[in-house]
Structure 1
Amino acid sequence: MKNKRVDPTISIVIPIYNVEKYLSKCLDSLLNQTFENFEAILVDDGSKDESYIICKKYEKIDERIRVYHKNNGGLSDARNFGVKQATCDYVVFVDSDDYVNSDYLKCLWKAHIDYNADLVVSGVIRETEDGKVSSVVGSEEICLYSAKEAIKESCYGENIPIYAWGKLYTKKSLLKHPYPVGKYHEDVWTTYLLLDEANVIAAVPEKNYHYIQRENSILHSNIFSTKYFDSIEGAKQIESYVKRKYPDLITASLARLLIESNALLHRACRYPSNYIQASDMVDSYLKGNWKIVLSDKKNNGKVRAEMLLFKISHKLYRLGYLALTK
């Protein structure tokens, strides 16, 4: 029997593509929410497995769930499509291979009400498929930011991760800044713009979002794609934006560029020709800024150490990474 429908205040958008193995856990975690006034918009982006069938099963269970099936257009396209279907003024993204704690929506909404925050950020637990926690990201207490302060925090990736998920947004801001269709790392291209639309950003201490690092996901695939270059191109867009609007955040924007550069080089290390191409791009983007990024102690120490090695020798960086990841 379907649950009684209530007037929703939050639209949850779940982009779905070939995740039959993980989807039920994700959807069960949403139906377990202590905050019940939501609608869940399931966007099946042309899945070739049983994902759509699973979606339809859940749609029959709970009237708060609406299922849409569309031709494959990629993650950004699915997110944008879901936002357009949303009937609420506030939107949350949950990736279909992740899951959330039962108080996830409650904590986000409470911070929105208590602090008049028009963007709220959840703490995040990164874990492997077998449940092993790899890291925890987020503040230790409630933190309030202006748009400028939040952009700075997101560049360093501390209390405000740059990911699209794990946040409560206004639908209005998402319609103004849709995710770039065809780009990987779409959140690098978009999160800073969404933060800049907000008057008050609240980061809550509760770590209620579980980000599952799958080996065969876009970000953790063993196959290299030139689309990975989108990440540092997005970081360059952040640098250009803050140069115009917040010039005193240049160092922070370069920190994001350093983080994305290091991640790109990691992915390229096993592919010699791609590694040369990635190295050339990183060199050109960081040219003239090495002293700034390597002396910025607010940036991640491990990232700075690895990129110092890269600056000294591209070959040693690659050999060192391959030796450590055998």
Structure 2
Amino acid sequence: MISIIVPVYNAEHTLGKCVDSILSQTYSHFELLLVDDGSKDKSGAICDTYAMKDSRVRVFHKPNGGVSSARNFAIDNISEGEGYLTFIDSDDYVDCNYLLHLVKAFGRNIDLVVGGYQSFGASRFVQYYEAKCYEYAELNKCFGKHIAEMPFTAPWGKLFRTYVIQEHHIRFDTRMKCAEDACFNKEYLCYVRGVALIPYTDYFYYSVNNSEKYGADGENCVYDALQTIRKYEQLTTIHAFDYQHATRAIINIHSGRFYIYQLGKSFSLLGFKEFCTTYDTLSPYLHLLENNGGRGQKIYNTLVMHRYFALAFVFVRLLASIKVIFK
């Protein structure tokens, strides 16, 4: 049986389409775990309505603890330990053959099946894979080529073996605010015997502007960045592959989050110590910063990369003040 985990928080406008797409699957041997993570809208009631209509739907209501907490709660309440597991987000939806295509690709020594996806919303993109099975000895090639791609960092769009997760007690890090799903995946990949890619884009992912989601203080940025890098390092000790391109992406993502956080501050010297501490901790990786974003962020990245922290701090706080004046 396949266990489908959907964390739910204030998703009343998208939840119906998501759940309807799941209940319409051509592969019907599944349980759907809806975890209402303390929603303040009608999401909880919507979940209960589906549970009354379909016995495959199981609903849990819990105090708000974040998406990682909700996913972990569901993992702890899976009915069968020998089946399969997939995650779907409550603002996404899937094609009617999503589960069928995933489960058919499983073989004796395949412990993870990964499909492509189509994004909608803030951006439109299609990730497509040619059908390919990587045996254990070839996993370094698989990871070296695909490890930083969205299907290998996000929790959705793939099928896990439940017993691997339970046996090694793999869970989402509830302290992380960003990339907790990538860390979950990397830990799982440490225990797989083989990976299958399938040529279907059955998952429809709702894309939002990252700047709306991921601005964070220095402590969170450092913790998230270093935890993610450590998971890559752990995996590469088992399957040697070059992950510098992934590390580059990690550092740019989390430095960008800290930049967004700084733009929300007024011009003041308060926070300068945190600023320096953040980039001192990340200093081994600052050479990987790129000139991404708008003109302001490019200047900011250049200053940080060359360790002109005081100038970078003053510059971003001036930008924040200008933003407030002309808002």
- Please indicate, yes or no, whether the TM-score normalized by the shorter chain is above 0.5: yes
Q: Which of 162, 177, 187 does residue 153 from structure 2 map onto?
A: 162
Give 1:157's aligned amino acid.
Answer: E
Structure 2 alignment gaps of length 5 or more: none
**SS of equivalent to 1:18:** coil
**SS of equivalent to 1:211:** strand
Corresponding residue number in structure 2 for 1:179: 172
CA contact (8 A) 2:215 2:261 kept: no
Q: How much does 1:248 deviate? A: 4.6
Corresponding residue number in structure 1 for 2:131: 142
1:1-326 → structure 2 map (5 Å cutoff): 9-88=1-80, 89-113=83-107, 116-128=109-121, 133-136=123-126, 138-145=127-134, 146-153=138-145, 155-157=147-149, 160-175=151-166, 176=168, 177-185=170-178, 186-214=180-208, 220-221=212-213, 224=216, 227-242=220-235, 244-246=237-239, 248-265=241-258, 267-272=260-265, 277=274, 281-282=278-279, 284-287=281-284, 289=285, 293=288, 311=305, 315=312
**SS of equivalent to 2:198:** strand
Query: 1:148-199 CA deviation, whole Å, 9 max, x = no partner?
Result: 44443454326x4301122111112222211112322211322111112111
Q: How much does 1:286 deviate? A: 4.5
Name the count of aligned residue pairs. Answer: 301
**SS of equivalent to 2:192:** coil
CA contact (8 A) 1:261 1:282 kept: no
Identity score, percent: 27
CA contact (8 A) 1:100 1:210 kept: yes
Give 2:129's aligned amino acid.
Answer: E
Distance of 1:222 and 1:245 partners within structure 2: 31
Distance of 2:215 and 2:86 partners within structure 1: 30
Give 2:278's aligned amino acid.
Answer: M
Q: How much does 1:24 deviate? A: 0.7
Structure number, greater radius of gyration: 2
Structure 1 alignment gaps of length 5 or more: 1-8, 295-299
Q: Aligned pair in 2 of structure 1 residues 198, 179: CA closer, same or farther (>3 Å)?
A: same
Give 2:92's aligned amino acid.
Answer: D
Give 2:87's aligned amino acid.
Answer: F
**SS of equivalent to 1:281:** helix
Give 2:163's aligned amino acid.
Answer: K
Distance of 2:283 and 2:143 partners within structure 1: 20
CA contact (8 A) 1:122 1:166 kept: yes
Q: How much does 1:43 deviate? A: 1.1
CA contact (8 A) 2:222 2:282 kept: no
Superposed CA RMSD? 3.6
Q: How much does 1:201 deviate? A: 1.0
Give 1:34's aligned amino acid.
Answer: T
Give 2:177's aligned amino acid.
Answer: Y
Question: TM-score, with normalisation over the residues of structure 2?
Answer: 0.76
CA contact (8 A) 2:37 2:63 kept: yes
Give 2:234's aligned amino acid.
Answer: Y
Distance of 2:271 and 2:57 partners within structure 1: 43
CA contact (8 A) 2:216 2:258 kept: no
